[in-house]
């Protein structure tokens, strides 16, 4: 396949198939791993995002091949970029991509920090698809510092509610965690809007060294159970309480 690919490593704990429509991302998140993964400088990745070459044409062929194979796994848009970054307002590649995938009978999963930008395409999604957003910071001061180009926290909540109201399965990527008490508060406050929580620790940055990850894992696991929410503690977090294989929490 040219655009759709089989994931591996940490990414595979989320979805097994994914497609990245853009090179780079205008959200410019301070914890982003995208530049390293794509071997791009942060300046190029954040300030000069662009579509992948012939992305829709290649996606059409990939989708046709998967349809012939009877593929049932959802295809995530996107891992190392955001399908609803500001550039997509102009190009609307994500809408085209969803139309291609749905036209071949494939399932779609969206992961975005785009807020209202992402709500534009909810009409294309149905009960067999998934819509997710990343929630990291409750307070706007922190959000602006770490996610300057992304939508505000409450806009992302609004997009979750809009998807939920349409009968679309919702999920939250509660990652990376900087403050596990704040993360627990997010679960407590918004669990009714979320069908599944995907919870992971902060990696790579020095701030991760200041967090008691054992306490974080125990707190977040207990919070999911308290509100009877389904979710998954990723391996890098669950290992701190003796579960290096990850922890699946069922309702």
Q: What is the pLDDT of residue 26?
A: 97
Q: What is the pLDDT of residue 113?
A: 98
CB-based burial label for 99 (10 Å; 0-12, 13-18, 19+)? middle
Overall average pLDDT of the 127-143 stretch: 96
Q: What is the pLDDT of residue 169?
A: 98
Give the pLDDT band of residue 128 (cuts 50, 70, 90).
very high
Dist. CA 118–CA 122, nearest whole Å: 7
Tokens matching residue 57: 């044409």
The mean pLDDT of the chain is 97
Q: What is the pLDDT of residue 70?
A: 97
Q: What is the pLDDT of residues 51-73, one digit of tens each?
A: 999 999 999 999 999 999 999 99
CA atoms within 13 A on the CB side of 114: 27
Q: What is the pLDDT of residues 145-187, one digit of tens each?
A: 999 999 999 999 999 999 999 999 999 999 999 999 999 999 9
Task: Report domain extents, the chain.
Answer: 4-167
Dist. CA 59–CA 46, nearest whole Å: 24
CB-based burial label for 250 (10 Å; 0-12, 13-18, 19+)? exposed
What angle, 0 to 180 degrees and rounded to 10, lies between the N-to-C axes of helices 55-68 and 93-103?
20
Q: Which fold does the domain 4-167 belong to in CATH?
A: pyruvate-formate lyase- activating enzyme (3.80.30)
Cα separations in angstroms, 18 against 58, 75, 87, 236:
14, 5, 20, 21
CA atoms within 13 A on the CB side of 206: 0
């Amino acid at each position: 396949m040219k655009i759709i690919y089989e994931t591996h490593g940490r990414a595979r704990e989320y979805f097994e198939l994914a497609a990245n429509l853009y090179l780079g991302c205008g959200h410019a998140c301070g914890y982003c791993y995208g530049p390293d993964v794509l071997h791009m400088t942060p300046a190029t990745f954040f300030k000069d995002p662009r579509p992948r070459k012939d992305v829709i044409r290649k996606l059409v062929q990939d989708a046709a091949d998967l349809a012939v194979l009877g593929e049932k796994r959802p295809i995530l848009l996107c891992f190392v970029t955001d399908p609803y970054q500001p550039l997509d307002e102009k190009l609307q590649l994500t809408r085209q991509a969803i139309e291609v995938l749905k036209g071949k009978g494939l399932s779609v999963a969206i992961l975005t920090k785009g807020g209202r930008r992402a709500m534009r395409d909810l009409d294309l999604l149905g009960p067999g698809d998934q819509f997710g957003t990343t929630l990291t910071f409750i307070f706007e001061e922190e959000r602006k510092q770490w996610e300057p180009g992304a939508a505000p926290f409450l806009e992302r909540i609004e997009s979750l509610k809009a998807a939920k109201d349409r009968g679309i399965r919702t999920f939250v990527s509660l990652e990376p965690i900087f403050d596990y008490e704040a993360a627990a508060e997010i679960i407590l406050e918004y669990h009714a809007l979320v069908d599944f929580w995907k919870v992971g620790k902060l990696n790579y940055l020095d701030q991760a060294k200041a967090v008691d990850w054992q306490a974080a894992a125990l707190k977040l696991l207990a919070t999911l159970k308290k509100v009877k929410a389904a979710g998954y503690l990723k391996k890098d977090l669950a290992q701190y309480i003796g579960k290096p294989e990850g922890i699946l929490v069922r309702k």
